[in-house]
Amino acid sequence: MAENKKVNEKPGIGRAVERELDQLRKKVKELTLRLQREVKARELNAGLAAKAKKAREQVGKEAKTLRDQGRKLALQLKSAITDANKRQQALEEAQSKITEMRAQLSSKTVELKRKSNDLRKLVAESGHRAAEIIRGKGQPVPEPEKPSTAPTIPSEPGPEESRSDKPTSN
Q: Model confidence over 140-162: pLDDT tens digits?
A: 555 555 555 555 555 555 444 44
The pLDDT assigned to 96 comes to: 96
C-alpha radius of gyration, the chain, whole number: 59
pLDDT 10s digits, 87-99: 999 999 999 999 9
* CA atoms within 13 Å, Cβ hemisphere of 108: 8
Cα–Cα distance list, 160 to 109, 139, 156, 165 (Å): 15, 49, 11, 10
